[in-house]
Amino acid sequence: MFGITDPAIWVGYLLALVFTLACLVYGLLNWNNGVEGERDDS
């Protein structure tokens, strides 16, 4: 993938991007959640 042949490396890059995407999606989906006074179970 993108010139990297060892799966142990490109899977690492893929996961780094997936986790970054997860941070973005989580932040957007919960943009207005968690205001003081609301229940927050995390």
Residue 26 beta carbon to other proteins: minimum distance, rounded to whole angstroms? 5
Dist CA 11 CA 29 (whole Å): 26
Residue 11 beta carbon to other proteins: minimum distance, rounded to whole angstroms? 9
Interaction site with other proteins (CB under 8 A): 2-6, 8-9, 12-13, 15-17, 19-20, 22-24, 26-28, 30-36, 40, 42
Residue 39 beta carbon to other proteins: minimum distance, rounded to whole angstroms? 10
> Which residue type sits at 42?
S
The widest CA-to-CA distance across the chain, in whole angstroms, is 51
Residue 6 is encoded by which pair of tokens? 């060892």
